[in-house]
Amino acid sequence: MAESLLRTFISVSLPREIVNIKKMLQSTIHSKGAEIKWVRDGNMHLSLKFIGHTPEASVDDLNNTLNIVTEEFSTISLSLIGSGCFPRPDRARTLWVGIAGELDKLDDFVEAINARLEPLGFPIQERKFIPHVTLARIKYPQKHTPDVTQFLNTTFAELPMKISRINLMSSQLFSKGAVYTILGTHFLVSKA
């Protein structure tokens, strides 16, 4: 019998107020027929590493390894600030909110996760880690390209957040969107 594979990633939960920021930014885009798929409120997160297809038997090893990594780091102070898009405004595919704060410490943390997971058979991501919170995705081709100018020019009050724990998540994709399940939670060392 074939071993079942899970689609996994490592993420950080966000302050509840992100929902208000998303709604405010959502109101800046008048799609005029463009198809924009907004991330459901409960599914917004800061992704630290997309692992991908993971044998169910590897979940314990992943959790044990993440436990070791989180014990080496203290709480990371960040904030949600500004909006942006990938790859470019005239053909935006991803609309996001940016991250500021202890970014060097966050980069070190993500590097440590990558370094520890590689020997388990989960390769280091080749793309540079750009911390952001995805709010929406836009697929092409479509009849109308959305104008994201106002979205990109809208400012909002900085929303402080701390990374005090991370989650190993699984994601099941359905026609109405992804359903996430927490496979493990790991706590960073608290600052005294």
Any domain includes 88: yes
Q: Kind of pairing, strands 5-12 and 46-55? A: antiparallel
Q: What is the mean pLDDT of the chain?
A: 93
Confidence of residue 2 (pLDDT cuts 50, 70, 90): low
Q: Which of 133, 43, 137, 48 is nearest to 82 (CA)?
A: 133
Give φ, ψ of 86 to 5 degrees.
Answer: -120, 145
Spatial distance between the Cα atoms of 171 and 166, rounded to a whole number of angstroms: 15
Query: How many domains are there within the chain?
Result: 1
The CATH code of the domain that includes 31 is 3.90.1140.10
82: tokens are 């500004």
Catalytic option among 30, 132, 144, 186: 132
Once rounded to an integer, what is the mean pLDDT over residues 15-33? 91
In a domain, 1, yes or no: no
Residue 159, in any domain of the structure: yes
Secondary structure (3-state) at 164: coil
Collapse the DSSP code of 72 into the 3-class scheme (helix H, G, I; strand E, B; otherwise coil) and give the result: coil
Task: Mark whether 30 is an active-site residue.
Answer: no
Q: Is 80 helix (H, G, I), strand (E, B) or coil?
A: strand
Dihedrals phi, psi of 32, to nearest 5 degrees: 45, 50
Lowest mean pLDDT among 1-10, 122-131, 161-170: 1-10
* pTM of structure: 0.92
Q: Could you tell me if residue 192 is inside a domain?
A: no
Burial bucket for residue 43 (CB in 10 Å: 0-12, 13-18, 19+): middle
In a domain, 132, yes or no: yes
Residue 13's pLDDT band, with cuts at 50, 70 and 90, is very high
pLDDT number for residue 11:
98
Per-residue pLDDT of 78-95, as tens digits, reads 999 999 999 999 999 999
Q: State yes or no: is 132 an active-site residue.
A: yes
Question: Is there a domain that residue 65 lies in?
Answer: yes
Domain that holds residue 63: 6-187
- State the catalytic residue, choosing from 45, 53, 144, 186: 45
The answer to which of 66-80, 101-115, 140-154 has the lowest mean pLDDT is 140-154
Name residue 50's amino acid: F
pLDDT tens digits for range 130-182: 999 999 999 888 888 899 999 999 999 999 999 999 999 999 988 777 899 99
In a domain, 22, yes or no: yes
Q: For the beta carbon of residue 171, count every other beta carbon within 10 angstroms.
A: 16
